[in-house]
Amino acid sequence: EVIALSPKTLMATNRFVCEICGKGFQRDQNLQLHRRGHNLPWKLKQRTSKEPRKRVYICPEVSCVHHDPSRALGDLTGIKKHFCRKHGEKKWKCDKCNKRYAVQSDWKAHSKTCGTREYRCDCGTLFSR
């Protein structure tokens, strides 16, 4: 099953919102469990067939290699991170080298090691390895 989500849906952090308190959730199952706290009707979705369906997600960017169903990514987290990294706004910037990142965890990981792995040649050139 090939699933094509819009860029807005991919970038949304809380797609499922409680109509009572406005709290948002990434998964419908989490919203349904939250609804119990408000004594609202809720229903967890059950798998309809015994055979698990293979889902793949295509990138909404037409020029991207992952827009082709044969190059689709296998999970929702993977397509979200791919879209964010490759096509999203790069909000986080390293203070040391000015490199920009779209995913905060990538920026944090880079910040921990930025500037620590420099090798200087006798001629003055800096190398990272």
**Structure tokens, 74:** 């296998």
Instruction: Tell the residue number behind the tokens 């469990």, with chain if given.
Output: 33
C-alpha 129 chain-centroid distance? 30
Amino acid at site 93: K
What is the per-residue pLDDT for 55?
Answer: 85
C-alpha 61 chain-centroid distance? 15
Can you name the residues that pair with 100 across neighbouring β-strands?
93
pTM: 0.61
For the stretch 39-86, pLDDT in tens is 888 777 776 666 667 889 999 999 999 999 999 998 888 898 899 999
By C-alpha distance, which of 87, 93, 121, 120 is closest to 107?
Answer: 93
Strands 56-58 and 2-4: parallel
Averaged pLDDT for residues 98-110: 92
For the stretch 2-51, pLDDT in tens is 888 888 877 777 778 888 898 888 888 898 899 889 888 877 777 666 66
Residue 17, CB-side half-sphere exposure with 13 Å CA sphere? 7
- Which residue segments constitute the domains of the chain, with CATH numbers given? 12-37 (3.30.160)
DSSP string, 83-105: HHHHHS---EE-TTT--EESSHH
Q: Where do the DSSP E strands lie in the chain? A: 2-4, 16-17, 24-25, 56-58, 92-93, 100-101, 119-120, 126-127
